[in-house]
């Protein structure tokens, strides 16, 4: 299919990111095949740092197909290794890159954004992530004149394989396309080189063609581009036109860094798209491409849309790979890479090195903390989250073998980034010193200023797209799970019999929750822009009954459901109101109606509050501190004393 046909099918603008890592040692020999020959040069000694450290990310604006040197330091420039943020760091925050010398090259990577263009904004002092903050971090690295390249693992759009919490709206294809357009525009503005393809990106109208249509609009300069080596396409024009690259190489400082991307086996069943003919195994794709990349680059980075187990397997099969950036289902990453060192010894040494029942290997594992896998053919894999421990284990095995050296097949760093764009990974490469690569995981918290241009994309352009789609009104509504026949009456309907409770609710922020979306709000002297009421992902915690049938839908007919009203906690009140307004209702009907809206503070309050005050939207939420603001047992008791007069007024007699 030609680019013109794609444009007729989709109107886009996109953004994504790619992943990167560290480089091992210069001058490694070419390997004739992807799995066979070992590199004779010494493997890299690398250093990692704990998660808590703040990381600054770097990026590269070299969009040409040809290699382009970027960020080269001038002799007169002597930037420090440490990167400062404008805000004062709290005492428990470690300084960023506090012991880094100036790197020769830096890979900044992101991934698994899963639809989170930014945190919701309800608790910015606690929340992490967001495209605007990410560029704030990248800019802090650029100010240090560090040579950067930016890449993304993929998974920009929502992961629909994950079960949604109760009351959360599943994002539809129209909003997914708007997200994709804004994300790619943001990534282009940041200077990303490539974005690895992942199955989540098919969640737009027209699937793969819709994705390609978005990429066509990213052409000034033509970056980022989509990266994948193991998709077999029905139409090769995507590849011929340079929209889909098998691999890409960039000159970062004086280091040639090659990126190759693959989709892992776990995504195979999700690739049901007419433009995708088949999916080669990652092994087949790497065997076809690695030899050429090794000859043409200094460092080879695999972007794997797959999990840790598959990353380990590929690292063992392809020791030539220097870095594998992979996905992970964990919400919070550990911040420490996994190091795999692969060596080989003579077969006749295996029994002696292992010892009876493997006692020698177990002793080395206990002393170093590394895990050792010794095979009968003499090959051995040493893995550890501590690079020094892995090196020590290899050295102890060499001493057991009583040989001058072991044949070194390769050393691979495996890193991941977590989910929802909360973190950015940074790998620094160094040609001098014992430490040739360093890794830090940067939490994108409030120490980084939002970039103004990205902020405008999110606050203005994205909201304009959502407003034009009218998604709050048009998005599919679902029946209320605990009573499909029930409907939402609005908090005013509760006022007649519960005037004191209603008065307290009216004084809370719940009653005015929609105002914060419409007009914005100030948190810690930071203004959160308004206009977010057009975003269905925001609206459900700020109005009543969304996304249920009869709940708020943005129309004038549901204005009575403004704010976070009584029924968001107690459930739809239509039956309760009808029963108590019916002069002939029975005691049994009244009991049933009461049970429908009753909440037990001892068991239900945490579940109800956590629908909105969860870890994503309000990570600093403490129920014990906030509960008194909304607790209304005393007020309910006062209202109960008024019921005889209220019933009398309604014409009801006891």
pLDDT, tens only, 219-247: 777 789 999 999 999 988 889 888 899 99
Contacts 24+ apart (CB under 8 A), 607-612: 608/568, 608/569, 611/165, 611/166, 611/167, 611/541, 611/568, 612/540, 612/541, 612/564
What is d(CA 223, CA 61) in angstroms, rounded to the nearest whole number? 9
Domains in the chain: ranges and CATH: 3-162+169-345+406-453 (3.60.21.10), 346-378+386-405 (no CATH), 478-649 (1.10.1130.10)
pLDDT at residue number 351: 92
Tell me: pLDDT of 4 over 70.
Answer: no
Tell me: pLDDT of 445 over 80.
Answer: yes
What is d(CA 561, CA 552) in angstroms, rounded to the nearest whole number? 6
Lowest-confidence segment of 267-276, 438-447, 561-570, 612-621 by average pLDDT: 612-621
Residue 315 C-alpha from the chain's centroid: 23
Asked if residues 181 and 214 have their Cβ atoms less than 8 Å apart, the reply is yes
What is d(CA 55, CA 138) in angstroms, rounded to the nearest whole number? 10
Q: What percent of the chain stands above pLDDT 70? A: 82
What is d(CA 37, CA 454) in angstroms, rounded to the nearest whole number? 46
Asked if residues 415 and 396 have their Cβ atoms less than 8 Å apart, the reply is no
Tell me: pLDDT of 151 over 90.
Answer: yes
Mean pLDDT on 384-409: 94
Asked if residues 343 and 394 have their Cβ atoms less than 8 Å apart, the reply is yes
Read off the pLDDT band of 50 (50, 70, 90). Answer: very low
Strands 423-429 and 105-110, sheet pairing: antiparallel
Tell me: pLDDT of 643 over 60.
Answer: yes
Lowest-confidence segment of 156-170, 241-255, 288-302, 395-409 by average pLDDT: 156-170
Ranked by mean pLDDT, the top range of 15-24, 116-125, 396-405, 473-482 is: 396-405
Tell me: pLDDT of 295 over 50.
Answer: yes
Read off the pLDDT band of 412 (50, 70, 90). Answer: very high
pLDDT at residue number 166: 60
Mean pLDDT on 415-424: 91
Read off the pLDDT band of 60 (50, 70, 90). Answer: very low
pLDDT at residue number 152: 97
- pLDDT per residue over 504-539, tens digit each? 999 999 999 999 899 988 877 778 899 999 999 989
Tell me: pLDDT of 296 over 70.
Answer: yes
Q: Which of 120, 128, 110, 122 is nearest to 59 (CA)?
A: 110
- pLDDT per residue over 95-104, tens digit each? 888 888 999 9
Tell me: pLDDT of 8 over 80.
Answer: no
What is d(CA 548, CA 143) in angstroms, rounded to the nearest whole number? 49
Tell me: pLDDT of 16 over 50.
Answer: no
pLDDT at residue number 620: 79
Q: What is the largest CA-CA distance in the chain?
A: 101
- pLDDT per residue over 560-612, tens digit each? 999 999 999 898 999 999 988 887 788 888 888 888 887 766 566 667 888 88
What is d(CA 127, CA 118) in angstroms, rounded to the nearest whole number? 9
Read off the pLDDT band of 644 (50, 70, 90). Answer: confident
What is d(CA 567, CA 155) in angstroms, rounded to the nearest whole number? 36
The DSSP secondary-structure symbol of 129 reads -
pLDDT at residue number 183: 96
pLDDT at residue number 521: 85
Q: Which of 212, 265, 232, 175 is nearest to 462 (CA)?
A: 175
Tell me: pLDDT of 10 over 50.
Answer: no
Read off the pLDDT band of 458 (50, 70, 90). Answer: very high
pLDDT at residue number 595: 83
Q: Which token pair is 154? A: 């993929």
Sequence-separated (6 or more) residues with CB below 8 Å from residue 312: 338, 340, 383, 414
Mean pLDDT on 613-628: 82
- pLDDT per residue over 176-235, tens digit each? 999 999 999 999 999 999 999 999 999 999 999 999 999 888 877 778 999 999 999 998
A 10 A CB-CB count for 344 gives 16
Read off the pLDDT band of 165 (50, 70, 90). Answer: low
pLDDT at residue number 328: 86
pLDDT at residue number 5: 46
Taking the whole predicted model, whether its pTM rises above 0.85 is answered as no
């Amino acid at each position: 299919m030609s680019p013109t046909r794609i444009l007729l099918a989709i109107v886009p603008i996109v953004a994504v990111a790619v992943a990167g890592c560290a480089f091992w040692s210069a001058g490694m020999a070419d390997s004739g095949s992807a799995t066979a020959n070992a590199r004779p040069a010494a493997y890299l000694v690398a250093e990692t740092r704990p998660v808590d450290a703040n990381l600054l990310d770097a990026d590269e604006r070299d969009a040409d197909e040809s290699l382009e040197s970027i960020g080269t330091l001038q002799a007169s420039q002597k930037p420090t290794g440490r990167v400062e943020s404008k805000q004062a760091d709290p005492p428990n925050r470690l300084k960023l890159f506090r012991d880094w010398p100036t790197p020769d090259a830096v890979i900044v990577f992101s991934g698994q954004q899963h639809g989170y263009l930014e945190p919701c904004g309800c608790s910015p002092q606690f929340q992490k992530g967001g495209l605007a903050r990410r560029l704030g971090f990248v800019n802090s690295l650029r100010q240090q004149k560090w040579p950067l390249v930016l890449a993304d693992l993929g998974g920009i759009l929502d992961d629909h394989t994950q079960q949604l919490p109760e009351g959360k709206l599943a994002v539809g294809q129209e909003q997914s396309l708007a997200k994709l357009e804004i994300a790619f525009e943001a990534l282009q503005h940041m200077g990303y080189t490539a974005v690895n393809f992942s199955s989540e990106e098919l969640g737009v109208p027209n699937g793969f063609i819709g994705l390609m249509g978005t990429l066509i609009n990213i052409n000034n300069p033509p970056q980022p581009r989509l990266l994948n080596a193991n998709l077999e396409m029905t139409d090769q024009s995507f590849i011929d036109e340079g929209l889909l690259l098998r691999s890409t190489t960039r000159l970062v400082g004086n280091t040639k860094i090659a990126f190759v991307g693959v989709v892992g086996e776990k995504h195979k069943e999700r690739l049901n798209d007419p433009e995708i003919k088949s999916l080669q195994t990652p092994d087949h794709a790497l065997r076809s491409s690695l030899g050429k990349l090794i000859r043409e680059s200094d460092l080879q980075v695999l972007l794997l849309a797959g999990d840790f187990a598959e990353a380990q397997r590929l690292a063992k099969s392809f020791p030539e790979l220097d870095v594998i950036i992979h996905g992970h289902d964990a919400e919070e990453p550990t911040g420490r890479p996994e190091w795999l060192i692969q060596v080989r010894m003579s077969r006749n040494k295996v029994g002696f090195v292992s010892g009876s029942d493997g006692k020698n290997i177990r002793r080395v594992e206990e002393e170093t903390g590394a895990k050792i896998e010794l095979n009968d053919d003499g090959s051995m894999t040493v893995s550890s989250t501590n690079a020094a421990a892995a090196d020590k284990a290899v050295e102890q095995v060499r001493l057991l073998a009583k040989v001058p050296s072991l044949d070194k097949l390769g050393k691979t760093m495996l890193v991941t980034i977590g989910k929802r764009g909360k973190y950015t990974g940074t790998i620094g490469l160094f040609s001098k010193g014992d430490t040739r690569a360093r890794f830090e995981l940067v939490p994108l918290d409030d120490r980084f200023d939002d970039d103004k241009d990205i902020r405008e994309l999110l606050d203005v352009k994205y909201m304009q797209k959502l407003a034009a789609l009218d998604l709050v009104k048009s998005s599919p509504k679902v029946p209320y799970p605990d009573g499909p026949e029930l409907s939402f009456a609005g908090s005013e309907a509760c006022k007649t019999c519960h005037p004191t409770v209603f008065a307290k609710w009216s004084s809370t922020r719940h009653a005015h929750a929609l105002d914060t979306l419409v007009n914005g709000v100030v948190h810690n002297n930071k203004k959160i822009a308004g206009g977010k009421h057009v975003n269905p992902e925001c609206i459900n915690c700020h109005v009543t009954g969304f996304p249920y049938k009869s709940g708020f839908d943005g129309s004038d007919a549901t204005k009575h459901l403004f704010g976070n009203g009584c029924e968001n906690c107690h459930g739809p009140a239509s039956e309760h109101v009808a029963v108590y307004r019916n002069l002939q209702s029975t005691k049994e009907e009244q009991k049933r109606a009461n049970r429908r809206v009753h909440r037990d503070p001892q068991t239900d309050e945490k579940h109800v509050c956590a629908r909105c005050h969860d870890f994503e939207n309000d990570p600093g939420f403490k129920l014990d501190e906030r509960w008194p603001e909304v607790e209304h047992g005393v007020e309910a008791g006062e209202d109960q004393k008024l019921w005889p007069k209220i019933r009398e007024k309604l014409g009801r007699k006891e």
